[in-house]
Amino acid sequence: MRVVIQRVSEASVIIDNVIKGEIASGFMILLGIEPNDNESDIDWLTSKICGLRVFSDAEGLMNESIIDQNGEILLISQFTLFASTKKGNRPSFLNAAKPEIAIPLYENFVGALSQKLGKRVKTGEFGADMKVSIINDGPVTITIDSKNRE
């Protein structure tokens, strides 16, 4: 699993001209899933996200987690995170999990992240054409891959 985490002051996702999810301060996360991902990737990555200390403390240092800040999360499925551009100029998405594998893992990820965060994670819709808007705070943008734990 691979995520791109952006610290935001606000974020929203629109599907068919309707706001599907929106948050104030917190994380907007893009999630990509590979065919060999599993529950251990979910557990490790959701723990890492909730413990990530990228919010300012009273002294202005990035020393607090999203839980410390009582922040929100908007999670968007993003198969293009596993694009390969090795051949030519048209990306290949063969490294991304097919929907029959990705959807259950995505739903389990949302559930595990909501449980660890202590509140409902807002989402887009798997496979939908989504319009995502953010105000990146900082800017702070971090990528994490569950296959690169060491």
- Give pLDDT tens digits for 6-29: 999 999 999 999 999 999 999 999
Select which of 46, 80, 123, 141 is catalytic. 80
Question: What values do phi and psi take at 99, rounded to 5?
Answer: -50, -35
Q: What is the pTM of this model?
A: 0.94
Decide if 141 is catalytic: no
Please state which architecture CATH assigns to domain 2-145.
3-Layer(bba) Sandwich (3.50)
Distance of CA 83 to the CA centre of its chain: 16
Residues of the chain scoring pLDDT < 50: none
Q: Residue ranges of the alpha helices (H) in the chain? A: 39-51, 99-117
CA–CA dist 42, 108 (Å, integer): 8
